[in-house]
Amino acid sequence: MGSSRILILIAQRIAMGVLLLFAVSALIFAGTQILPGDVAQSILGQAATPQALANLREELGLNDPAIVRYFRWLGGVLTGDLGTALSNGRDIASSLEDRLGNTLFLAAIAAIVSVPLAILLGLLAVRYRNGAIDKIISGLALASTSLPEFFIGYVLMLFFAVKLQWFPSVSTVYDTMSFVEKLRAVALPATALTFVVLAHMMRMTRAAILNVMQSAYIETAELKGLSPFQIIRRHAFPNAVAPIVNVVMLNLAYLVVGVVVIEVIFVYPGLGQYLVDHVTKRDVPVVQAVGLIFAAVYIGLNMIADIVAILANPRLRNPR
């Protein structure tokens, strides 16, 4: 009975994620359609004749009703066809393949550093609660949260790329580079992303563990004579895993979706840079495709966080 209840809840979360992704796809399509300007005009330029504009609109299907164009686009997406870029005529799916890999590589490096560090700092802050270490960690986290990511990126670039010349200011990666060369190339953007998400994960980890520390079984463990570190490791942290995992997944989603600014600053060949380049060209199919990928990653990671929370916390399986 218990396992069937878990499977039902997981199936519900997956169904909600799929429905939400369909809703987001409709919003993305509608948002790109109401943008000012004429796609055909932006492709052919101001010198285009009315007949040439009319022919291009007919060729692109812009004269069809919006609902027809949406389901045509959605049908292509479901079959793996993301369309063709208007600016260069290239297949969007093939163009996105390498860039998606670059973005995931950058996000993975930042996650490998930030997630363990955030949990460790959160545990240290709880262990030395209201002490000097807790205040220093919380103060640095608050300062990091207050700084916008573009500012962090430019400061890192100024000191480590321009003055010290330890790392390149332009984070160019390509297939023939070794893994170590790629690490050196993404060191600065990965550090900037780490600073962006580290503070939030650390503060939420600290809050989740402190919330558990107020429970009755923690007092029982204290009466048994366990040390503060043992109480945190054996009792508080395992019971705070669900909210911590939820926060980690949210920040992992941000690492993938929120890389746009960092990629533009360091001219990194990822999805964010690709999106900005084609927004300036008003390349609607590319904007739709990248927006849908970002939405799918964000919704997917949040769905995983919900499923992990259900598996880790029995109380979520029987809501009252």
| Nearest alpha carbon to residue 3 among 266, 274, 314, 304 | 314
Contact residues for 102 (Cβ-Cβ < 8 A; gap 6+) = 173, 268, 269, 270, 271
CA distance 39 to 28: 16
Structure-token match 């960092």, residue found: 262
- Would you call 60 exposed, middle or buried from its count of C-beta atoms within 10 A (0-12, 13-18, 19+)? middle
pLDDT, averaged in runs of 10, over the chain (320 residues) = 73 88 88 69 65 71 76 83 75 81 86 85 79 82 79 87 84 81 87 84 78 69 68 66 74 77 85 80 81 87 79 61
Query: Exposure string (b/e) for 42-58, b if CB count within 10 Å is 16 or more?
Result: bbeeeebeeeebeebbe
**Contact call for residues 236 and 212 (beta carbons, < 8 A):** yes
Q: 2-36+82-317 sits in which CATH class?
A: mainly alpha
Burial bucket for residue 245 (CB in 10 Å: 0-12, 13-18, 19+): buried
From the number of C-beta atoms within 10 Å of its C-beta (0-12, 13-18, 19+), residue 15 rates as exposed
Task: Give me the pLDDT at residue 163, please.
Answer: 85
Can you give the pLDDT at residue 320?
52
- Distance separating alpha carbons of residues 245 and 253, to the nearest angstrom: 12
Q: Can you give the pLDDT at residue 94?
A: 82
Torsion sign, CA atoms 237, 239, 240, 244 = positive
pLDDT at 145: 75
Residue 63 confidence (pLDDT): 67
pLDDT of residue 19: 92
Q: What is the enclosing helix (H) or strand (E) of 94?
A: helix 92-127
All structural domains of the chain with their residue ranges: 2-36+82-317
Residues 6+ apart with CB under 8 A from 59: none
What pLDDT score was predicted for residue 44?
Answer: 62
Cα–Cα distance list, 81 to 22, 73, 111, 188 (Å): 16, 9, 30, 34
Complete DSSP assignment for 218-252: HHHHHHTT--HHHHIIIIIHHHTHHHHHHHHHHHH
